[in-house]
């Protein structure tokens, strides 16, 4: 931080000179010179304290420490006050030891005369009043450790480290982040340049491969008699309405695709067949209009075969069969191009067959098709298998049939994969927690996150524009629940395991208020703030029966391990006073999860007895309740249209309920065990950590069509189908090495932000971009 301050001072000084603000520049230089914080240089501050001690300036030493306490130490949490007091005591002892070592007994007596009123009531100074009167204090067992070089070095290092950490965690103005922003921009530019060079190299490689493929394809052109096949018949020859089985036509097209080079590929549509079988022994049937009888028949089609066609070119066909076969073997290397052609043709043929359209292909294509089938017949005759032409075509048909019937099912054949609903733009990790995460929530603005771990460490950190910790705090008692104040995003509600709820100011970094809920029910399981921010709901429960009953007993479940008593209370956020105690029928039960609807008129709760209760917040009474799960309800929330409620329970079910008809299921799904909990983290030597769900187990996107849940390796996004019969897995976020225990999905920004928190203290921030359908 000291380097950033020094660099910023230079920039401000340069700016003042540029603007001609000479008076401001003089005053600025004077203030910098008299700055007691030494530009946040820790070494300079420690050096200044040592200088006061070496000059025996007790007044200056006291005054400088008071300034540091007022300027820096007073902003710390109460938990750090004992540390500051110990450092002050060690500083004064360091001064006294220095006076004795330099034989300035008068300065030591002066210290006790001036500080007697402050130190006489402190037990740690009781024996030190004898120090000026001892002959050899360095040999006294009480004072000997303080005269060693090791103690002095340890104290100075501790003071240096404390100040360094303090400056590192201090909130700084935006201008001090200028250097960091410049470095980040420089790194991003270097990364972009490297990616650009990599892209150019890939493009050049692709261009080179494409050129090689084109050159190879040019060497594999069709023989002369095939390329001139259109001269075998007159110019009026055409395929106006071939009545042929479309599957045989598709088989012939697949054979054609192995002969045509890339420049000859076509995707003509297949006409609907009428059940007529072509004559393949003597060549493919061709249709033409008889030119002599064209006036009388007016377009009547005459069926003819390749036996009726005579050309001098055909006389060389049999002699060139041996040259054709090696070319076919070489053409088999172009499997990708043939599959692409086959997929396009089969897809088009299937669509035409379904719609019943009758399409005529261009004459040039039909001539190549006829010639290809005829050449196949010639090859078979040359090999002595001329009678097995039909069997060959049937074999080709068997290879083509799956693609012809379901063209979109095979991606290898060119079928189109379903488009992903989201694009993962980035995934970052927040790793300042060192134990399992309990809660992780994004505020309403989508810019900050509050997270709590099992050690009671609270972190408030920003998402945009940089992932940076804004506030940190440590709770002496375990924290079980967390909630943002809806209208005042700087305020945070924290529920503990000792029956207290704290209102924490994340900007001032201090507790505004702490209230005691109920001594008999110390576990604050859930907190939910109304959308207006005027009130919040608090769920308190007695200690878990697991600690009261024998959990290893066979009838532990039958004796009602989930029936833990609890209370549901309504509190005013401004006055922090209790407003209402909700009635929980048939008996008081622990409420595990709560959620408000968009205007705060409805409240849904999930309890340890498996019952979901819906409260009318205007009448402050339970509107309906129903048995939802076998076991505890872990997480509940309203749907996007707020006509239904979703819940996840201990039985591993994810259920949608109709709130207009009590207890009516809309849909029910079974989720994997790693999505519903309890969550288990196994380690070495049989170590196993088990965590009961506390935070949200599912979250929805902005339109309620997709759901994010937990998994053992990261978050999983499902699509909520309208039929209510199945959950479709759309995207696995991944990135975790430990089970994910809570999730959140913020849609406040343009791009959706998914948070997944795991048992190893890691929080993954995944930014998604929704695909427009």
Residue 657 DSSP class: E
pLDDT the model gives residue 367: 43
256 backbone φψ class: left, alpha, beta (φ>0; ψ -120 to 50): alpha
| β-pairing verdict for 468-474 and 457-462 | antiparallel
Long-range contacts of 183-192 (CB under 8 A, 24+ apart): 184/466
pLDDT the model gives residue 389: 40
Residue 189's CB is within 10 A of a number of other CB atoms, namely 10
Q: How far is CA 459 from CA 277, 415, 504, in A?
A: 77, 48, 12
Three-state secondary structure string covering 319-337:
HHHHHHHHHHHHHCCCHHH
In the predicted model, what is the mean pLDDT of the chain? 74
Single out the residue of 434, 436, 605, 629 nearest to residue 525, CA to CA: 605
CB 58 within 8 A of CB 111: yes
Question: Which residues, at least 6 apart from 48, have a Cβ–Cβ distance to it below 8 Å?
Answer: 36, 38, 64
Does the N-terminal peptide bond of residue 602 adopt cis geometry, omega within 30 degrees of 0? no
* DSSP H or E stretch at residue 214: helix 178-219
Long-range contacts of 339-343 (CB under 8 A, 24+ apart): 339/412, 339/413, 339/414, 340/414, 341/257, 341/260, 341/265, 341/267, 342/253, 342/254, 342/257, 342/400, 342/403, 342/413, 342/414, 343/403, 343/407, 343/410, 343/413, 343/414, 343/415
More confident residue, 1 or 34: 34
Distance CA 243, CA 627 (A): 65
Q: How far is CA 452 from CA 310, 380, 432, in A?
A: 89, 77, 11
What does the DSSP assignment read for 99-125? HHHTT-HHHHHHHHHHHHHHHTT-GGG
- The DSSP bridge partners found for residue 755 are 744, 765
R_g (Cα) of the chain, nearest Å: 41
Residue 750's CB is within 10 A of a number of other CB atoms, namely 9
Question: Which residues, at least 6 apart from 159, have a Cβ–Cβ distance to it below 8 Å?
Answer: 46, 49, 87, 90, 91
Question: Structure tokens of 104?
Answer: 């300035």
| 316-358 per-position pLDDT tens digit | 444 444 444 444 544 455 455 555 555 554 455 444 434 444 3
Cα angle: 143, vertex 146, 150; to 5 degrees: 145
Mean pLDDT: which of 13-17, 45-49, 553-557, 694-698 is highest?
694-698
CB 2 within 8 A of CB 42: yes
User: Taking the chain, what is the end-to-end CA distance rounded to the nearest angstrom?
Assistant: 48
Matching residue, tokens 């007159």: 234
Single out the residue of 734, 753, 696 nearest to residue 437, CA to CA: 696
Ordered domains of the chain (ranges, CATH): 36-172 (no CATH), 224-409 (no CATH), 422-549+560-770 (2.130.10.10)
Residue 188's CB is within 10 A of a number of other CB atoms, namely 10
Distance CA 553, CA 406 (A): 57
CB 561 within 8 A of CB 548: no
CB 500 within 8 A of CB 515: yes
Question: Which residues, at least 6 apart from 516, have a Cβ–Cβ distance to it below 8 Å?
Answer: 499, 500
- Across 24-33, 108-117, 282-291, 579-588, least confident range: 282-291
pLDDT the model gives residue 272: 40
pLDDT the model gives residue 10: 77
pLDDT at 216 over 80: no
- Across 106-110, 378-382, 592-596, 677-681, least confident range: 378-382
Provide the pLDDT confidence category of residue 19 given band limits of 50, 70 and 90: confident
Q: What are the b/e assignments for 654-667, b being 16+ CB within 10 Å?
A: bbbbebeeeeeeeb
pLDDT the model gives residue 773: 57
* DSSP H or E stretch at residue 93: helix 81-101
pLDDT the model gives residue 171: 67
Residue 529's CB is within 10 A of a number of other CB atoms, namely 24
- Across 246-250, 494-498, 547-551, least confident range: 547-551
pLDDT the model gives residue 138: 82
Distance CA 261, CA 256 (A): 10
Cα angle: 367, vertex 373, 377; to 5 degrees: 135
More confident residue, 511 or 372: 511
pLDDT the model gives residue 347: 52
Question: Which residues, at least 6 apart from 564, have a Cβ–Cβ distance to it below 8 Å?
Answer: 541, 542, 544, 545, 589, 590, 608
CB 645 within 8 A of CB 656: yes
Q: What are the b/e assignments for 551-580, b being 16+ CB within 10 Å?
A: eeeeeeeeeebbebbbbbbbbebeeeeeee
Matching residue, tokens 């733009």: 425
| 442-467 per-position pLDDT tens digit | 988 888 999 999 999 999 999 877 88
pLDDT the model gives residue 378: 46
Task: Strands of 242-281 (E only): list them.
Answer: none
pLDDT at 719 over 80: yes
Question: Structure tokens of 327?
Answer: 């070319």
* DSSP H or E stretch at residue 9: helix 2-19
Residue 137 DSSP class: G
Question: Structure tokens of 385?
Answer: 């298998």
pTM of the entire predicted model: 0.49
pLDDT at 273 over 60: no
pLDDT the model gives residue 62: 85
Distance CA 676, CA 335 (A): 47
Burial class of residue 203, CB neighbours in 10 A (0-12, 13-18, 19+): exposed
CB 677 within 8 A of CB 697: yes
């Amino acid at each position: 931080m000291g380097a950033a301050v020094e660099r910023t001072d230079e920039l401000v000084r340069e700016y003042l000179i540029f603007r001609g603000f000479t008076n401001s520049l003089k005053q600025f230089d004077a203030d910098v010179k008299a700055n007691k914080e030494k530009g946040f240089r820790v070494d300079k501050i420690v050096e200044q304290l040592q200088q006061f001690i070496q000059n025996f300036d007790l007044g200056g030493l006291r005054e400088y420490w008071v300034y540091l306490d007022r300027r820096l130490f007073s902003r710390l949490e109460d938990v750090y006050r004992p540390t500051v007091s110990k450092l002050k005591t060690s500083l004064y002892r360091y001064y006294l030891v220095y006076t004795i070592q330099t034989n300035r007994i008068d300065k030591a007596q002066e210290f006790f005369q001036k500080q007697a009123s402050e130190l006489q009531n402190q037990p740690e100074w009781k024996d030190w009043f004898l120090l000026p009167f001892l002959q050899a204090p360095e040999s006294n067992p009480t004072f000997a450790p303080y005269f060693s070089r090791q103690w002095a070095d340890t104290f100075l290092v501790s003071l240096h480290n404390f100040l360094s950490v303090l400056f590192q965690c201090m909130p700084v103005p935006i201008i001090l982040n200028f250097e960091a922003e410049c470095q980040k921009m420089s790194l991003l530019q270097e990364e972009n340049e490297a990616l650009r060079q990599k892209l150019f190299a890939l493009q050049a490689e692709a261009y080179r491969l494409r050129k090689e493929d084109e050159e190879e394809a040019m060497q594999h052109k069709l023989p002369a008699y095939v390329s001139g096949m259109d001269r075998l018949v007159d110019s009026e020859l055409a395929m106006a309405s071939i009545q042929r089985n479309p599957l045989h036509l598709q088989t012939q097209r697949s054979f054609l695709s192995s002969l045509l080079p890339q420049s000859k590929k076509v995707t003509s549509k297949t006409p609907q067949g009428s059940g007529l079988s072509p004559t393949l022994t003597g060549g493919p049937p061709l249709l033409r209009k008889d030119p002599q009888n064209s006036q009388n028949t007016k377009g009547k089609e005459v069926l003819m075969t390749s036996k009726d066609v005579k050309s001098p070119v055909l006389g060389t066909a049999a002699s060139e069969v041996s040259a054709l076969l090696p070319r076919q073997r070489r053409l088999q290397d172009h499997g990708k191009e043939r599959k692409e052609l086959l997929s396009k043709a089969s897809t088009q043929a299937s669509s035409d067959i379904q719609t019943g359209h009758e399409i005529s292909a261009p004459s040039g294509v039909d001539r190549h098709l006829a010639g290809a089938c005829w050449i196949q017949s010639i090859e078979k005759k040359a090999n002595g298998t001329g009678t097995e032409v039909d069997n060959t075509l049937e074999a080709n048909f068997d290879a083509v049939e799956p693609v012809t019937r379901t063209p979109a099912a095979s991606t290898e054949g060119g079928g189109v994969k379903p488009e992903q609903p989201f694009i993962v733009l980035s995934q970052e990790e927040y790793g300042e927690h060192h134990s399992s995460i309990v809660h992780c929530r994004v505020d309403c603005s989508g810019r900050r996150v509050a997270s709590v771990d099992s050690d009671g460490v609270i972190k408030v950190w920003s998402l945009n524009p940089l992932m940076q910790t804004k506030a940190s705090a440590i709770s002496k008692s375990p924290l079980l629940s967390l909630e943002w104040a809806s209208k005042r995003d700087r305020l945070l509600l924290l529920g503990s395991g000792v029956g207290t709820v704290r209102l924490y100011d994340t900007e001032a970094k201090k507790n505004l208020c702490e209230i005691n809920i109920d001594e008999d029910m110390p576990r604050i399981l859930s907190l939910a703030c109304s959308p207006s921010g005027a009130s919040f709901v608090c769920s308190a429960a007695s200690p878990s029966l697991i600690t009261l009953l024998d959990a290893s007993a066979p009838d532990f479940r039958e004796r009602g391990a989930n029936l833990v008593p609890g209370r549901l209370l309504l509190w005013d956020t401004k006055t922090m006073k209790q407003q209402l105690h909700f009635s929980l029928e048939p008996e008081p039960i622990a409420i595990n999860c709560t959620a408000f609807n968009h205007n705060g008129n409805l409240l849904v709760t999930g309890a340890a007895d498996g019952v979901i209760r819906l409260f009318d917040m205007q009448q402050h009474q339970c509107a309906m309740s129903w048995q939802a799960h076998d076991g505890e309800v872990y997480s509940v929330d309203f749907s996007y249209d707020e006509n239904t409620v979703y819940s996840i329970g201990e039985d591993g079910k994810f259920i949608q309920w109709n709130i207009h008809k009590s207890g009516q299921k809309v849909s029910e799904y079974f989720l994997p065990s790693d999505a519903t909990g309890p969550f288990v983290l196994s380690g070495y030597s049989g170590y196993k950590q088990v965590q009961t769900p506390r935070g949200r187990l599912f979250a929805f996107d902005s339109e309620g069509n997709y759901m994010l849940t937990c998994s053992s390796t990261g978050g999983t996004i499902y699509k909520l189908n309208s039929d209510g019969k199945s959950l479709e897995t759309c995207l696995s976020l991944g990135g975790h090495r430990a089970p994910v225990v809570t999730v959140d999905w913020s849609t406040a920004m343009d791009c959706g932000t998914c948070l997944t928190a795991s048992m190893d203290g890691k929080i993954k921030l995944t930014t998604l971009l929704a695909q427009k359908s």
